[in-house]
Amino acid sequence: MKKTAVDRRVLLGAHMSVAGGLYTAFERAERVACTAVQIFTKNSNQWNDPVISSDDVLKYREAKNKSKVELVVSHDSYLINLCGAGELLLNKSRTAFIQEIERCSLLGIKYMILHPGAHTIMDRREAVGLVADSVNYAHSSTADADVVTLIETTAGQGTNVGSSFDEIAEMLSLIRNKKRVGVCIDTCHIFAAGYDIRTKETYEATMNEFERVVGFDLLHAVHLNDAKKPLGSRVDRHEHIGKGQIGKAGFRLIMNDERFESVPKILETPKGEDGFAMDMVNLKLLRSFIGKP
Ligand SMILES: [Zn+2]
Ligand SMILES: [Zn+2]
């Protein structure tokens, strides 16, 4: 019997804090019934490289096995700039990026999402090449790690690279180890970068362009965020699902699009006071779309 979209296990969840230990992400995920979750493996606003002990790994793996979370993705530190200007920032970024991959490897996290970086003083083309060089360097420095690095689409705020599918495709073409690279679409970011998904027509045009330029076979994660700012604003501000400039229709289309079916979908929307209430609301709304295009 053919399974309907509702029967299938949808990989849906939210970014969760690891305050109190990496394993605590699963307790939080459980509270809002996540089947997929995203974590930082360290404080995302610091350069430090915390030691993950074998006890930490054990606790993490035990908690994961007991939970209903089927897939964990990690997001790298916000400080990392893989096309950073100057040797100091670039080297620091590359070292931190490699450490991110190593921590994922230790924890058995297959997908690590990265922001390409900001080009500041160099031109975009040069920056795109430098991001690819950094990723190549990290891949060869972590040859044994079973971790796939996912380039996240950006809003193009400031001098951030990776805001067009063409730019993402160019980075991908320069990355040598094809088995270790993929893409993460962020709905808020692509919308802010000018890709409309508000109606069936604009949604199809955007996704067909993604298929043509990048390819859905490389898509391994999606960030589901509505956008506070208008189409093409290039401003990265996340809003609750259906409450922003994208609106419910765009998310309904994604939740019923076969091309997104097996892709983990992660909220990065504001948490609300208790840290859970708004995730609950957003996830419930997204689940309600499934099977009702
Ligand atoms: Zn994102
Ligand atoms: Zn964002």
pLDDT attached to residue 231? 98
pLDDT of 56 > 60? The answer is yes
Residue 7, in any domain of the structure: no
Q: How many Å lie between the centroid of ligand 2 and the Cα of residue 273?
A: 20
pLDDT of 193 > 90? The answer is yes
Angle at 10 between CA 44 and CA 250, to 5 degrees: 80
Q: Model confidence over 227-267: pLDDT tens digits?
A: 999 999 999 999 999 999 999 999 999 999 999 999 999 99
Q: How many Å lie between the centroid of ligand 2 and the Cα of residue 236?
A: 5
Residue 188: nearest ligand to its CA? 2
- Average model confidence (pLDDT) across the chain: 95
- Sign of the dihedral defined by the CA atoms of residues 150, 154, 159, 161, in that order: positive
Distance (Å, whole) CA 84 – CA 217: 29
**Residue 65 CB neighbours (<10 A):** 9
Kindly list the protein residues that place their beta carbon closer than 5 angstroms to ligand 2, a single-atom ion.
236
Domain that holds residue 208: 12-289
The domain tally of the chain equals 1
Residue 76, in any domain of the structure: yes
Residue 5, in any domain of the structure: no
CA distances from 213 to 9, 183, 185, 224, 260 (A): 29, 12, 13, 21, 17
Q: How many Å lie between the centroid of ligand 1 and the Cα of residue 48?
A: 22
Q: Model confidence over 131-149: pLDDT tens digits?
A: 999 999 999 999 999 999 9
Least confident of 2-16, 102-116, 251-265: 2-16
pLDDT of 74 > 70? The answer is yes
pLDDT attached to residue 275? 83
Q: How many Å lie between the centroid of ligand 2 and the Cα of residue 285?
A: 20
Distance (Å, whole) CA 112 – CA 39: 10
Q: Model confidence over 16-43: pLDDT tens digits?
A: 999 999 999 999 999 999 999 999 999 9
Contact 49, 96 (CB under 8 A): yes
Residue 106, in any domain of the structure: yes
Residue 239: nearest ligand to its CA? 2
pLDDT attached to residue 272? 82
Question: What's 84's domain CATH number?
Answer: 3.20.20.150
Contact 133, 95 (CB under 8 A): no
Distance (Å, whole) CA 27 – CA 276: 11
pLDDT of 7 > 60? The answer is no
Residue 157: nearest ligand to its CA? 2
pLDDT attached to residue 75? 98
Q: How many Å lie between the centroid of ligand 2 and the Cα of residue 150?
A: 15
Q: Tell which residue, 58, 150, 51, 60, has the closest CA to residue 102.
A: 51
Q: Which residues make beta-bridge pairs with 118?
A: 160
Q: How many Å lie between the centroid of ligand 1 and the Cα of residue 2?
A: 33
Residue 1, in any domain of the structure: no
Q: How many Å lie between the centroid of ligand 2 and the Cα of residue 64?
A: 26
pLDDT of 3 > 60? The answer is no
Q: How many Å lie between the centroid of ligand 1 and the Cα of residue 192?
A: 12
Contact 79, 115 (CB under 8 A): no
pLDDT attached to residue 8? 55
pLDDT of 290 > 60? The answer is yes
CA distances from 1 to 4, 153, 157, 223, 287 (A): 9, 37, 47, 31, 23
Q: How many Å lie between the centroid of ligand 2 and the Cα of residue 108?
A: 25
pLDDT attached to residue 274? 84
**Residue 66 CB neighbours (<10 A):** 12
Instruction: Report which residue type is found at 238.
Output: H
Residue 210, in any domain of the structure: yes
Kindly list the protein residues that place their beta carbon closer than 5 angstroms to ligand 1, a single-atom ion.
186, 223
Q: How many Å lie between the centroid of ligand 1 and the Cα of residue 168?
A: 15
